[in-house]
């Protein structure tokens, strides 16, 4: 492997895009190449931030306002970034994170209509200049994704939004990917799992100069 600093990798997409399966395949790729990494997720990733996650995704009689939701996402992120992500990267350990700030632009920005400038302000406050080194965006038409998520059952508060909400979420992800092609790799998640994995692995091997592929 080329001399490569520890990478901060995020996975994004609408519900049912197949992120979890592909995260496992990515971790296997890192394993066979002897790369040390941690797996984590947002919102959450630390005990405190997981409590905020429960608050965010659980259903209760009182739904949070869009601004409340936005601030809680960043509250959880501040905790997660400072106590888990940055310390790992500092120790040269890679970080594989299921969702990060792109999800805030997509869900709270695109989905809920929060102005992009507000999110940029909070991003700067919480993250400074820190952004992921690489983002894998699993793109799938909303009906297909929601159908898969439905079949899994147990939709959380945000997953229970209507189809128009997720259309806006998907569009925002696509806009982010178009604006930042150096960081965001878009993968067509309509193909079957094996093909999607193959495509992802070959893109990553090329990018990082890895020699060993899983399996």
103 forms part of the interface with ligand TMP (CB under 6 A):
yes
Nearest to 189, CA basis, from 148, 135, 147, 139: 139
176 forms part of the interface with ligand TMP (CB under 6 A):
no
> Total binding residues for ligand TMP by CB under 6 A?
13
104 forms part of the interface with ligand TMP (CB under 6 A):
yes
99 forms part of the interface with ligand TMP (CB under 6 A):
yes
Q: Quick check: 119 and 104 in contact, CB under 8 A?
A: yes
Q: List the one residue from 35, 73, 95, 140 that touches ligand TMP (CB under 6 A).
A: 73
Q: List the one residue from 9, 17, 23, 42 that touches ligand TMP (CB under 6 A).
A: 42
Nearest to 200, CA basis, from 8, 23, 57: 23
122 forms part of the interface with ligand TMP (CB under 6 A):
no
3-state secondary structure 126-160: HHCCCCCCEEEEEECCHHHHHHHHHHHCCCCCCCC
Give min distance, CB of 75 to ligand TMP, in A.
11
Q: Please, which residue, 142 or 158, has the CB nearer to ligand TMP? A: 158
Q: Please, which residue, 18 or 43, has the CB nearer to ligand TMP? A: 43
Q: Quick check: 74 and 52 in contact, CB under 8 A?
A: no
Nearest to 36, CA basis, from 69, 60, 5: 5
| Rounded distance between C-alpha atoms, residue 140 and residue 71, angstroms | 28
Q: List the one residue from 7, 16, 30, 43 that touches ligand TMP (CB under 6 A).
A: 43
| Rounded distance between C-alpha atoms, residue 69 and residue 91, angstroms | 32
Its sign, for the CA torsion 94, 78, 128, 172, is positive
Determine the interface stretch with ligand TMP among 21-29, 36-44, 58-66, 203-211 (rule: CB under 6 A): 36-44
Q: Please, which residue, 133 or 159, has the CB nearer to ligand TMP? A: 159
Judged by the rule CB under 6 A, the positions of this chain that interact with ligand TMP are 41-43, 57, 73, 98-99, 103-104, 107-108, 158-159
């Amino acid at each position: 492997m080329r001399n490569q600093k520890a990478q901060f990798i995020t996975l994004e997409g609408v519900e049912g895009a197949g992120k979890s399966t592909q995260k496992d395949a990515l971790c296997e790729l890192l394993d066979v190449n002897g790369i040390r990494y941690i797996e984590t997720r947002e919102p959450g990733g630390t005990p405190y931030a997981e409590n905020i996650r429960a608050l965010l995704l659980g259903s209760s009689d009182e739904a949070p306002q869009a601004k409340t939701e936005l601030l809680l996402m960043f509250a959880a992120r501040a905790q997660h970034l400072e106590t888990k992500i940055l310390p790992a990267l500092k120790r040269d350990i890679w970080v594989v994170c299921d969702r990060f700030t792109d999800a805030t632009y997509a869900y709270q920005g695109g989905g809920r209509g929060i102005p992009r400038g507000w999110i940029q302000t909070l991003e700067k406050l919480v993250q400074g200049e820190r952004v992921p080194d690489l983002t894998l965006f699993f793109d799938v038409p909303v009906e297909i994704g929601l159908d898969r998520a439905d079949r899994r059952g147990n939709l959380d508060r945000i997953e229970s939004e209507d189809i128009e909400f997720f259309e806006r979420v998907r569009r925002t992800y696509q806009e982010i990917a178009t604006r930042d092609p150096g960081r965001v790799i878009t993968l067509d998640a309509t193909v079957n799992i094996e093909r999607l994995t193959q495509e992802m692995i070959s893109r990553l091997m090329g990018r990082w100069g890895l020699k060993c592929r899983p399996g």
